[in-house]
Chains A and B, each alone.
Chain A
Amino acid sequence: MARAKVYVTLKAGILDPQGKAVKGGLEALGFSEVEDVRVGKYIELRVADGSEENLKARIDEMCQRLLANPVIEDFLSEIVQEASSEEDSDPSKFRRKLDLDHKINRK
């Protein structure tokens, strides 16, 4: 089992009213250092194993055809292979693992 993380964001230069509103909210909270906010989507897919290359091509196709609208959005995907099948079946563990991954990625 593999996991694909897909990030969909508005293309550079396209007005993001949501991002603007969030920026306004952060400013109101005193976070004056925020210069710009862009709001996007995070989509998580669990997919059957395959070669990484093939998987990447399939995910890209999914993004092109449905997950993103290429007229206004860019996308980025990363694939994470998962070892334990037990872990796969427990959503709470899965989520904890995700959080952990995020922390690791930050560092």
Chain B
Amino acid sequence: MKFGVIVFPGSNCDHDCYHVIRHVMGMPVEFVWHKETHLSGFDCLILPGGFSYGDYLRTGAIARFSPVMRAVEDFAEAGGPVLGICNGFQILLEAGLLPGAMLRNRSLSFICQDVYLCLENPHIPFTLLGHSSQVLRMPIAHGEGNYYADPQTLAELEANGQVVFRYCTAEGEKTDGANPNGSLHHIAGICNREGNVLGIMPHPERCCEGILGNEDGKLIFESILLTR
């Protein structure tokens, strides 16, 4: 299974993703520069975290018009798995591949800490190895992760099981105190209706090795490998 890690000007988690896929998962992976217009031979695409185009105007607003994004949209349309992490999630929102938008964290602070996540949907390609209500620990690092969608969109997300991860306590309780950024419905990650496009604010690529003290992120990458 071959992975492509899309690199935008300002991406800074691209090497972490590459490292995890190649050295931890032992899978072939290539960087894909944002100017590419054709994507062939890839089985999964990752839009990594960072500050694409300096986050000018809005997070992900400029990156979404990068030449490669048309090919990413085609890939997603054809059912290929696309994972957007942090800034990658923001780009997917701006591109309309996922619904909603990100607001500034309610604290106004850039938050860099471990959070607990409740797995709400273990039936998509990225979470197959998990079980419902499983609690995972992952780091977040963002200033704009305060998920917003209008009430109708939120209702649709809930009804279709598109909320994949919610912020929670270590015990799995979805309390306001466990919500680091003010996201509506404690949303930390959502997928499209088909389940092949996932956007998450936490960084699974930063917690895949014992030496880092946390391997919870592996669940996502190992799940993807199960699909082929």
Contact = CB atoms under 8 A, between A and B. Distances in A.
B57 A17 contact: no
A18 B57 contact: no
A14 B58 CA distance: 16
A69 B94 contact: yes
B108 A17 contact: yes
Interface residues of B, number: 19
Interface string B106-148: 1110000000000000000000000000000000000000101
Interface in A1-57: 10, 14-15, 17-18, 21
Interface residues of A, number: 11
A46 B90 CA distance: 29
B104 A18 contact: yes
A69 B150 CA distance: 13
Contacts of A21: 108
Interface string B79-120: 000000000000000100001110111111000000000000
B157 interface: no
B50 interface: no
Given A14-B148, A15-B182, A17-B182, A69 B58 contact: yes
Contacts of B105: 17
B149 interface: yes
- B-side interface mostly: loop
A5 to B, nearest CB: 16
B61 A72 contact: no
A15 B100 CA distance: 14
20 contacts: A14-B148, A15-B106, A15-B148, A17-B103, A17-B105, A17-B106, A17-B108, A17-B146, A17-B182, A18-B108, A66-B61, A66-B65, A67-B57, A69-B61, A69-B94, A69-B101, A71-B100, A71-B101, A71-B150, A72-B103
Interface of A: 10, 14-15, 17-18, 21, 66-67, 69, 71-72
Given A14-B103, A17-B106, 8 more contacts: A17-B103, A17-B107, A17-B182, A18-B108, A66-B61, A69-B61, A71-B148, A72-B103
